[in-house]
Amino acid sequence: MASMLIAGEKTEGSAGEGIDVVDPATEAVIETVPRGTAADVDAAVQAAHKAFASWSRTDAEERATLLRKAIALIERDRKELTLSLVHEQGKPVTEAGGEIHHLIHGLNYYADLATKVKGSYHELPSALSKAYGMVIRRPMGVVAAIVPNNFPLTLLGTKLAPALMAGNTIVVKPAATTPLTTLKIADLLLEAGFPAGVINVITGRGSEVGDALVTHDLVRRVAFTGSTAVGRHIMGLAAPKLKRMTMELGGSDPVIVTADANVKAAARGIAIGRFWNCGQMCLGGKRVYVFDEVYDELMEQLTRTVAKYEPGLGWEKSEKPNIRVGPLHTADGRAELREQFQDALDGGGELVLGGDDIEGKGYFVQPTIVANPAQDSRVAREETFGPLLPVWRVSNLDEAIDRANDSEYGLGASVWTNDVRIIHRVANEVDAGMKWVNQFHYGYDELPFGGVKQSGYGKEHGAEGLDYYLEDTAVVVGGLE
């Protein structure tokens, strides 16, 4: 059995039981991790709280140096970490390598920012005496980081790095199905010299350890990435304790392709954006609205591109370049996607590509494209978390923007056009936290990212991501001559 990390010690936890971790491509058990309990959560939070007393007083330069040492160790073990991610998550080895690259890039970004936190100075009107004001930026305390299963490492990094660089300590709860590479990364942080208790990892089920973590009195800040349903549940739990929270939730990003678009580039971008990570993206064009004038051409190019995407075993990607999608991450996820697909057909959608079941072991599905399903079908209203793409024909920009906004989600959105007036309208009128023009949906470390509407609130990435781990504290210094 693998071990959790609490107070710098490896432990199998208080329950003495394990949870199996399954390779979604083979359905074989690859490892067992401890089934964490509320008692383990308490031990981890207490350790983080204790470590905060000295960690919060360390020099920012020292914190950055430690993170850079950890980055060097991640680079040293990059191959092993990549394969570990392939086997627990399912993604092809090139995509797993890309995720490690993105993790390292993000960690470096916050190592660089650690020493650049700024406060402010303010002249104040004299009251009892002459005075001035300062705004200083203080770390918060213990951070609870809850991470989903689709990008276990980058979404760990977007929490861990700003939290630690700001001087907080952290308790991480990876998804029950993707704990293994996270545990390896935590070990590397320890090897780099991060003091015991500064980073702790609790494995186990969200319903058990997650609830205990977000309601713990000593947790000051909850960083959650996951589905909107679980996000709502966690917000409810944490509300009575008024925890600081960021909620990075689900999405159903619209993509608009206008009459003047570079159709070839759009087809390529849409294909990458929808089928990367077997379609299990928060950000990702999940509803495509195409102007009449270019609809046939786009469909032809898109279909031709996606028809080449073969599902396969992630670790065989190097020898078989046509493997472009791994399996879905869970059997439940596959069952739900099938229902959404059937609903799209029942609502008049035309099957353009894929759609067949794939027999045998592993939660594989064929990349699938459906044209013009009913506007109230599930693929239009819900998040589709897999390689299923609905495409609709629209007549003009007003219709495209109306349809794009006809969703409870507001994570990302994009437009393919070279017309500056269209860019201006989409930038200002589509409800989404991040927008792309002539690009597929990708979260840059340099830019703040977070949703609106039911996609949540708060930002990760960018300098803003660091702000969410600092408390602005106003200090008035009086009694001056």
Binding site for ligand NAP (CB under 6 A): 146-151, 155, 173, 175-177, 205-207, 210-211, 214, 225-227, 230, 233-234, 248-251, 282, 383, 385, 411, 451
Tokens coding 456: 């949540």
Half-sphere exposure of 471 (CA within 13 A, CB side): 17
Q: At what angle do helices 397-405 and 420-429 cross, to 10 degrees?
A: 20
Q: What is the DSSP letter of 207?
A: I
* Backbone Cα Rg of the chain: 23
Q: Is 248 a catalytic residue?
A: yes
CA distance linking residue 215 with residue 235, whole number of Å: 10
Cα→Cα distances 294→163, 345, 450, Å:
46, 23, 31
Q: Which of 88, 95, 248, 382 is catalytic?
A: 248
Is 278 one of the catalytic residues? no
Say how far residue 445 (Cα) sits from the centre of its chain.
12
In angstroms, what is the minimal distance from the CB of 144 to ligand NAP? 9
* Calpha distance 41→214 (Å, rounded): 10
Least Å distance between CB 175 and ligand NAP?
A: 3
**Closest distance to ligand NAP from the beta carbon of 320 (Å):** 27
Nearer to ligand NAP, 276 or 291 (CB): 276
- Measure the CA–CA gap between 76 and 70, rounded to whole angstroms: 10
Q: How far apart are CA 433 and CA 471, in angstroms?
A: 23
Q: Please, are residues 177 and 85 in contact by the beta-carbon 8 Å criterion?
A: no
Q: Looking at beta carbons, which residue is closest to ligand NAP? A: 210
Whose Cβ is closer to ligand NAP: residue 399's or residue 467's? 467
Residue in the block written with tokens 């069952």 = 335
Closer by beta carbon to ligand NAP, 177 or else 377:
177
Q: In Å, how far from its chain's centre is CA 404?
A: 22
Contact between 414 and 388 (Cβ < 8 Å): no
User: Which C-beta is closer to ligand NAP: that of 91 or that of 233?
Assistant: 233
Q: How far is the CB of 376 from ligand NAP (least distance, A)?
A: 21
**Is residue 89 within a helix (H) or strand (E), and if so which, with residue range?**
helix 78-89
In the bound state with ligand NAP, the residue whose beta carbon lies nearer, of 35 and 317, is 35
Q: Which of 88, 95, 208, 282 is catalytic?
A: 282
Least distance (Å) from ligand NAP to the CB of residue 153?
12
Query: Smaller CB distance to ligand NAP: residue 215 or 417?
Result: 215
Q: Which is nearer to ligand NAP, 305 or 330 (CB)?
A: 330
In whole angstroms, the minimum distance from the beta carbon of 42 to ligand NAP comes to: 15
Between vectors from CA 97 to CA 95 and to CA 98, what angle results, nearest 5°? 60
d(Cα 432, Cα 413) in Å, to the nearest integer?
Answer: 6
- Shortest approach of ligand NAP to residue 229 CB, angstroms? 7
DSSP for 253-290? EEEEE-TTS-HHHHHHHHHHHHHGGGG--SSSEEEEEE
Q: Nearest distance from residue 242's CB to ligand NAP, in Å?
A: 18
Nearer to ligand NAP, 13 or 226 (CB): 226
103, 156 contact by CB (below 8 A): yes
Query: How far is C-alpha 3 from the geometric centre of its chain's CA atoms?
Result: 24
Instruction: Please give the structure tokens belonging to residue 41.
Output: 């959560």
Residues belonging to the active site: 248, 282
